[in-house]
Structure 1
């Protein structure tokens, strides 16, 4: 029997009594979909699955994104988040996938730089370091609910520009090629999403460069203030990975980031799948 246990008073829950590798029936899947809407982050411990099982489970929530060109796993439903190279050894600090892992230490929503951002992400821990390499989450629903009602009203309907090339270049100039900039031009996203039955959420993250209708300096001040508000401890949950954990989160309700670990000496190998969004964010903005 599936049991869902909240992990914090605000969001995130542990799901037990389920063997994902053996498949999930329709009634259980409906329960999990509601739990994802309600809790935003679901932790499934002890799921020793392979890529095929992860893809099959993920598809129960909807069609999957294909990994973007230039990333490990490009063109497939999986993306490899790892510091382990093709030869099985630990990659150099200058390797692109190690730099990508560094970029993942910034608070972000997966795929917010796409016209149709991801609905949800699922991350499976295949190898983990002895310390660090945690994943932190911030509830953008709780953050929005805590704002003054006047500011909530002022933010609804506003549009932010999300820019993949800009955000990657802030981490390291070598992290984004001109071809990648062309493949992912800046996109418009709603700053407040109202699609979730349990309440509206802020939508910002590392890719949010500017705000339409605002001077650049004022926009950066507002974005930075909202990000600081959203990521304060009262609205966050830190997941300390155990091998074979599978963690799923609602990309349209939470931010997330990885924490540092000893990348030059410790191995970390994770596999992610992303459930595609069903509508652009502006289609569901106020």
Structure 2
């Protein structure tokens, strides 16, 4: 475990392969002087926890701007505006809450895009009495630890991703009309192994992964499930148990994540902001 301290900015690894905690005051974060260091830590560790920092929505938006380009949400009244997005199962707060049920399964955000978001920043506003933890796995480390002969067979493989695939995890028998709505989001063919501009490589997996191109459906499913099982082994995973006011950032390009089950009537509420993507899948 490594620890470094400088002017109320203390960094501590929480597991050997993924995640760290940063103890800092609001002024340090909002001033932006540590933004470059935070981004470097995020790229190396995948997940950063700011325990009980309790930023307001306005402060979270300002902090997001220090790290990169603010990614605006889609939807009525949100396009082009700096705003937090409510992550909740309460449809009175988020009318499309049902769509978020796909988040209970391992995934990468933005697999329908050429250039996925760089990172998400999420703050705990209301918590469920039990459950509702968030898990993250390091897809860089999962790739690094694969046997060399297997790496050779995986590089060059392409995988078709579809949003509707992830929705079938929680709603396996949709109406034809609902399925058509999901399918309207299209599909995207992505590399199984992402060769990043940094020179590092990571696995591109998750609930939107539909089929390996050119592979029999059963063989494809076996490979994707085996690799997901590999990438989500305990040594690659950090589970965050939320406290009110916690803020967590994760590198969407080098991790997968999922929420753990909780009572959907509990009122659990997270506020999310995002950073626009800076690198296309390659």
TM-score range normalised by the length of the shorter chain? 0.7 to 0.9
- Given candidates 47, 56, 69, the residue that maps to 2:53 is 47
1:62 aligned to 2:65?
no
Distance in 2, matches of 1:212 and 1:43, equals 37
Distance in 2, matches of 1:165 and 1:75, equals 26
Task: Name the SS for the 1:23 alignment partner.
Answer: helix
Question: Residue 162 and residue 68 in structure 1: after superposition, are their counterparts in 2 closer, same or farther (change >3 A)?
Answer: farther
- Counterparts of 1:81-120 in structure 2 under 5 Å? 81-86=87-92, 96-97=96-97, 99-120=98-119
Which residue in 1 is equivalent to 2:152? 153
Which residue in 2 is equivalent to 1:208? 209
Distance in 2, matches of 1:203 and 1:62, equals 23
TM-score normalised over the length of structure 1: 0.86
Distance in 1, matches of 2:27 and 2:136, equals 23
Question: Residue 161 and residue 75 in structure 1: after superposition, are their counterparts in 2 closer, same or farther (change >3 A)?
Answer: farther
Distance in 2, matches of 1:176 and 1:41, equals 34
Shift of 1:177: 6.0
Question: Residue 180 and residue 55 in structure 1: after superposition, are their counterparts in 2 closer, same or farther (change >3 A)?
Answer: farther
- Given candidates 175, 181, 184, the residue that maps to 2:183 is 181
Distance in 2, matches of 1:54 and 1:169, equals 33
Question: Residue 176 and residue 24 in structure 1: after superposition, are their counterparts in 2 closer, same or farther (change >3 A)?
Answer: farther
For structure 2, the 5+ residue unaligned runs are: 1-6
CA RMSD of aligned residues (A): 2.5
For structure 1, the 5+ residue unaligned runs are: none
The superposition leaves residues 121-156 of structure 1 with CA deviations (integer Å, 9 ceiling, x where unpaired) of 111111111221000111111111111101112222
Which residue in 1 is equivalent to 2:239? 238
TM-score normalised over the length of structure 2: 0.87
Which residue in 1 is equivalent to 2:22? 15
> Do the aligned residues in 2 keep the contact of 1:134 with 1:258 (CA within 8 Å)?
yes
Distance in 1, matches of 2:79 and 2:264, equals 23
Shift of 1:75: 6.3
